């Protein structure tokens, strides 16, 4: 069975950049937009404005923000490039100036002194009425939530000491806090990391440094009501390799994935690291604490899931070992042997996992993911996995995002939003799927008259 994240990256690796911005004020809709679907679906992904480099990786593209606004049974669409300093520098020059992903030694000398890494291309994130395009090696870039106009980098009114903010923040649905961390937060690239907490009003209230066991990638993380979990994966950084013009990351099979756990009420000095061989994770669905046990539901593979990065010897990694299955990791904090239980959800090959985020950080039942066959709904209570098929969409659906039917609706009662590319027609559709009827036809299909690039991550902001 093919791994869907690999398939999606391969599909977009062959696809030229779209290189345009657009608006549709009243989108064509097949079916009917439900009256209780009101709000905005924000997305951010990469789309290079100038021809890319040979062998470039998709995560090195310029940020493209897009939005679908649902209002009174109608849908409007808009997409705009995020005008970072990097984007503006290249646009003024009229050509590609920046080289390999996170490698300044491959840049044109004209870029010296500019912010070369912040492409703002990973997550469209909405918090306290403000919209941000996130990229894990940089500060957030604020966007106007109505127009997508770029407002500029945001460092919490100068309070942030870290040089990076994760592209996978978590909003506490009880307190409204924005939980975050910085990877290589002081750009020493030796495992330097920082925990960050922003209150419901957008004020930075906590920032604590810590050191990971080795300088590996920490793309996503998890928070429960009682704990914070930091996964560090063996895509490692070697500055000598970077200075020689090599890749920023390389897979080191001799390093095990490690998972660090600390109490929310403690400090980063309390982190306990769990080496967990063959538990490479790219993304996390949700996590919760149950007594002395911490459960983390994540995409788990025995090897390198980000196969566009080679190993430390410069060799491609085995795609079969990068195939991820959504699995539950259980850490028993009372176990002094540091054993970790890893249990796969039956048949759940998939990526880009999400949940009903009103139940983030707590025990929950339903999760959603991209699957080889389409869009999946996982029922952690019964073990049932239902598929909304997308056989006519090469590369499958993009990341599914859940929109609740209302603020007080039961868990999983709402709609799954997923964009699919109609490559033969050179356009895209947004599927609106009833989450309670996953195997049925979409309740609505929002038809765009043009195609759209891959968006890595987004979220739905209710009206």
Q: Give the pLDDT confidence score for residue 51 in this predicted structure.
A: 80
> 58 falls in which pLDDT band (50, 70, 90)?
confident
Q: Give the pLDDT confidence score for residue 302 in this predicted structure.
A: 97
Spatial separation of the C-alpha atoms in residues 37 and 3, rounded to whole Å: 32
- pLDDT, average across residues 199-227: 98
Provide the percentage of residues in the chain whose pLDDT is more than 90.
93
For 244: left if phi > 0, alpha if psi spans -120 to 50, otherwise beta; the answer is alpha
Tokens in use for 356?
């009903």
Q: Give the pLDDT confidence score for residue 11 in this predicted structure.
A: 47
- Among candidate residues 301, 342, 346, 354, the one with its CA nearest the CA of residue 324: 301
> 17 falls in which pLDDT band (50, 70, 90)?
confident
Q: Give the pLDDT confidence score for residue 2 in this predicted structure.
A: 38
- pLDDT, average across residues 437-458: 96
417, 447 contact by CB (below 8 A): no
- pTM reported for the whole predicted model: 0.96
Spatial separation of the C-alpha atoms in residues 203 and 276, rounded to whole Å: 35
Provide the percentage of residues in the chain whose pLDDT is more than 70.
97
- Count of domains observed in the chain: 1
- Whether 12 has a pLDDT exceeding 60, the answer reads no
- Among candidate residues 340, 253, 350, 360, the one with its CA nearest the CA of residue 300: 350
The CATH number of whichever domain residue 365 belongs to comes to 2.130.10.10
Q: What is the pLDDT of residues 160-209, one digit of tens each?
A: 999 999 999 999 999 999 999 999 999 999 999 999 999 999 999 999 99
- Among candidate residues 66, 84, 68, the one with its CA nearest the CA of residue 28: 68
Spatial separation of the C-alpha atoms in residues 202 and 196, rounded to whole Å: 12
375, 397 contact by CB (below 8 A): yes
Q: Give the pLDDT confidence score for residue 379 in this predicted structure.
A: 98
Which phi and psi angles does 12 have, rounded to 5°?
-80, -20
> 53 falls in which pLDDT band (50, 70, 90)?
confident
Partners of residue 180 on adjacent β-strands = 196
> 54 falls in which pLDDT band (50, 70, 90)?
confident
11, 395 contact by CB (below 8 A): yes
248, 278 contact by CB (below 8 A): no
Q: Give the pLDDT confidence score for residue 14 in this predicted structure.
A: 59
Which phi and psi angles does 44 have, rounded to 5°?
-140, 135
Q: Give the pLDDT confidence score for residue 9 in this predicted structure.
A: 53
Q: Give the pLDDT confidence score for residue 282 in this predicted structure.
A: 96
Q: Give the pLDDT confidence score for residue 55 in this predicted structure.
A: 82
- For the stretch 139-144, contacts whose Cβ atoms lie closer than 8 Å and that sit 24 or more positions apart, written own/partner, are 139/163, 139/164, 139/165, 140/165, 141/63, 141/82, 141/84, 143/65, 143/80, 143/82
Range of the domain at 452: 4-462
**CB-facing half-sphere around the CA of 163: CA atoms within 13 A:** 11
Q: SS3 string of the chain?
A: CCCHHHHHHHHHHCCCCCCCCEEECCCEEEECCCCCCCEEEEEEEECCCCCCCCCCCHHHCCEEEEEEEEECCEEEEEEEECCCHHHHHHHHHCCCCCCCCCCHHHCCHHHCCCCCCCCCCCEEEEECCEEEEECCCCCCEEECCCCCCEEEECCCCCCCCCCCCCCCCEECCCCCCEEEEEECCCCCCCCEEEEEEECCCCCEEEEEEEECCCCEECCCCEECCCEEEEEEEEEEECHHHHHCCCCCEEECCCCCCEEEEEECCCCHHHCEEEECCCCEEEEEEEEEEECCEEEEEEEEECCCCCCCCCECCCCCCCHHHHCCEEEEEEEECCCCCCCEEEEEEEEEECEEEEECHHHCCCCCCEEEEEECCEEEEEECCCCCEEEEECCCCCCCECCCEEEECCCCCCCCCEEEEEEEEEHHHCEEEEEEEECCCCCCCCCEEEECCCCCCCCCEEEEEEC
Q: Which of 2-11, 234-243, 407-416 has the lowest mean pLDDT?
A: 2-11
Q: Give the pLDDT confidence score for residue 4 in this predicted structure.
A: 47
Spatial separation of the C-alpha atoms in residues 384 and 288, rounded to whole Å: 20
Q: Give the pLDDT confidence score for residue 67 in this predicted structure.
A: 98
Spatial separation of the C-alpha atoms in residues 30 and 37, rounded to whole Å: 15
Average per-residue pLDDT for the chain: 95
- pLDDT, average across residues 4-18: 58
Give the angle 175-177-178 at the CA atoms, nearest 5°: 155
**Residue, of 88 and 15, whose pLDDT is higher:** 88
Q: What is the pLDDT of residues 301-349, one digit of tens each?
A: 999 999 999 999 999 999 999 999 999 999 999 999 999 999 999 999 9
For 249: left if phi > 0, alpha if psi spans -120 to 50, otherwise beta; the answer is beta
Spatial separation of the C-alpha atoms in residues 370 and 352, rounded to whole Å: 6
């Amino acid at each position: 069975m093919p791994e869907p994240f690999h398939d999606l990256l391969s599909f977009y690796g062959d696809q030229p950049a779209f290189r345009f911005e657009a608006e549709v004020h009243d989108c064509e809709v097949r079916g009917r937009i439900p009256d209780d679907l009101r709000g905005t679906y924000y997305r951010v992904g990469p789309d290079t404005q100038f021809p890319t480099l040979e062998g470039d990786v998709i995560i090195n593209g310029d940020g493209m923000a897009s939005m679908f606004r649902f209002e009174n049974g109608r849908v409007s669409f808009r997409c705009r490039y995020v005008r970072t300093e990097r984007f503006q520098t290249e646009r003024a020059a009229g050509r590609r100036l920046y080289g390999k992903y996170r490698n300044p030694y491959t840049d044109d000398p004209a870029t010296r002194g500019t912010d070369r890494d912040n492409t703002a291309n990973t997550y469209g994130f909405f918090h306290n009425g403000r919209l941000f395009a996130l990229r894990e090696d940089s500060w957030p870039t604020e966007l106007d939530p109505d127009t997508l106009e770029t407002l500029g980098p945001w460092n919490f009114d100068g309070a942030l000491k870290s040089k990076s903010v994760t592209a996978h923040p978590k909003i506490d649905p009880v307190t409204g806090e924005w939980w975050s961390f910085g990877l290589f937060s002081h750009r020493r690239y030796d495992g330097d990391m920082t925990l960050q907490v922003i209150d419901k009003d957008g004020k930075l209230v906590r920032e604590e440094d810590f050191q990971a066991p080795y300088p590996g990638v920490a793309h996503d993380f998890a928070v429960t009501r009682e704990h914070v979990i930091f996964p560090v994966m063996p895509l490692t950084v070697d500055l000598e390799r970077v200075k020689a013009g090599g890749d920023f990351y390389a897979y080191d099979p001799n390093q095990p994935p490690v998972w660090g756990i600390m109490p929310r009420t403690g400090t980063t000095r309390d982190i306990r690291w769990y080496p967990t061989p063959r538990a490479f994770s790219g993304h996390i669905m949700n996590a919760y604490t149950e007594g002395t046990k911490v459960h983390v539901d994540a995409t788990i593979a025995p090897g390198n899931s980000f196969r566009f990065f080679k190993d430390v010897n410069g060799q491609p990694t085995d795609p079969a070992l990068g195939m991820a299955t959504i699995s539950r990791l259980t850490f028993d904090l009372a176990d002094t042997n540091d054993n970790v239980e890893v249990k796969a959800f039956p048949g759940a090959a998939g990526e880009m996992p999400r949940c009903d985020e009103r139940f983030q950080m707590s025990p929950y039942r339903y999760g959603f993911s991209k699957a080889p066959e389409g869009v999946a709904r996982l029922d952690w209570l019964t073990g049932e996995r239902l598929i909304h098929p997308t056989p006519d969409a090469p590369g499958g659906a993009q990341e599914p995002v859940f929109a609740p039917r209302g603020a007080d609706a039961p868990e999983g009662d709402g709609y799954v939003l997923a964009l699919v590319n109609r490559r033969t027609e050179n356009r895209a559709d947004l599927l609106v799927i009833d989450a309670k009827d996953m195997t049925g036809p979409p309740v609505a299909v929002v038809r765009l008259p043009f195609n759209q690039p891959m968006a890595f991550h987004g979220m739905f902001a209710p009206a």
